[in-house]
Amino acid sequence: MFRQGPTFVVRDLGSTNGTWLNDVRIRSDRPLEAGDRIRLGARGPEVEFTLTTVEQRPTPVVVADTPSPVPPRAGPTHPKKSESEFESTEGPTDLRIRMEVARQTDRLRRRIGAGIIAGLLLIATAISWSSYRGSVKQRAVATEQARLLTQVDSLQRVLASASNQASVLRRALDSARIDAGVLRARIAAQGLDPDSLLALNTRVAETIVQHTRLLEAADLDVSDLHQANAPAVVMVFAENQDGRSFSSTGFVARSSGDTGWIVTARHAVTDAQGQPAVRIVVGLPGRPSVYRSTLLRLHDSLDLALLRVISRSGLPSVSRLDPRPAMVGDPLAVIGYPLGLDLPMSSETVPGALNLSPTTSKATVSRTLPTLLQLDGYGVEGVSGSPIFSTTGGVVGMLYGGAPDTGGRIVYAVPSAHILAFLDQS
């Protein structure tokens, strides 16, 4: 702001933040009038221009009555400045001060403006980077979701196909397919974050491993295993003291010469009070006769019983007992006599009456405990005492019962390690 003739003028020197006169930004010189408001920057300090009238007094004139010469004084003399001269020198100084203030203010405005611009650029850069990272994150999540969905869809298709081919494992396979469907719904849910997808990825991997073993059980070729061991799987007939008879399954665990040692379930050869059956006979596949057996021993805590049978023609035994524990998910085969056979107990030899042929079903290990194997398979009356085989052909357990209200799907077995110890103690 400066004086120009009789008026004052405000000028903007190209500042970054600008100068506003009465809320209007100016870009050229503008004359000022009393009451005008000047603002430095859009939201900067604001001043009001005001004109103040200063009363000027006339220069005093001394009139002497009688002029008389003034005697000269010694020393140098200095002319005295008049008031008007002081006023004339005061104006430019004030103007210089104001111009310096304007220059300093403009410099400050430039620095503030540069700082604001730098801050805005930094904020814009941060927003752009955050947006870019968010976009990359969303694409990664979508890609991982699609991959997991593809895996689960493939698993469901294989389970459905296996369910149509393996009737014994159909319930287990259908249940596995339902579980996979629930998992798929969770993967397809909206708003998943990377941590949730990581957890689901682990769950998918575990599900695939678990159900792959179930599929291996459905795919298990039991023909060679059945041919090698079925002749040693016997049907056990027990007659209790009340005259009622029951049938179950057993297997020749060991044989030597004309003697065979048969393992079966303890409850199959005892009554409800735990009393041993008064009469026990066994039948073998391909033989028309039944053989009287002797109850050698009952296990104190496990559902195990040991019988002895003597036959002149000898008795076949199962391939071997495998003491190694089965693992969860392992495919297994069960050989036994589901639903048993109604046989009269009046004679030990019933020519032509027996035509025993054990059946083989598939299962998987769903749980393991030191004294128990839990299987996901098929079990009904008559299969207690059935040997359970691994894919390598060894007996890993003996089936003895099942969970109620599961339709025979969940069955229990004694691990082979306990069967071997039981045999060695007898």
- Domain chopping of the chain, boundaries: 1-52, 156-219, 223-425
Tokens of 267: 């409850």
Q: How far is CA 346 from CA 107, 110, 237, 382, in A?
A: 123, 119, 12, 21
Run of H or E residues at 126:
helix 83-165
What was the pLDDT predicted at 86?
43
Give the span between the Cα atoms of 159 and 94, in whole angstroms: 97
Q: Are 325 and 368 in contact (CB under 8 A)?
A: yes
Sorted by sequence, the CB contacts under 8 Å of residue 221 that are 6+ apart come out as: none
1-52 maps to which CATH number? 2.60.200.20
What was the pLDDT predicted at 70?
53
Give the span between the Cα atoms of 233 and 285, in whole angstroms: 8
Tokens of 145: 């979701």
Sorted by sequence, the CB contacts under 8 Å of residue 160 that are 6+ apart come out as: 173, 177
Run of H or E residues at 170:
helix 170-188
Burial class (CB in 10 A: 0-12, 13-18, 19+), 17: buried
Sorted by sequence, the CB contacts under 8 Å of residue 11 that are 6+ apart come out as: 1, 2, 28, 29, 30
- Nearest residue to 37 via CA among 3, 18, 10: 10
Q: Are 323 and 417 in contact (CB under 8 A)?
A: yes
Ordered mean pLDDT values, 10 residues apiece, the chain (426 residues): 81 85 87 88 85 62 51 52 46 67 73 78 75 72 80 73 58 74 82 79 78 65 89 94 90 96 96 93 88 95 97 94 89 85 46 70 88 81 88 94 76 96 90
Q: How far is CA 419 from CA 17, 52, 305, 395, in A?
A: 94, 119, 10, 10
Chain centroid to CA 229: 44
Q: Are 39 and 20 in contact (CB under 8 A)?
A: yes
Architecture of domain 223-425: Beta Barrel (2.40)
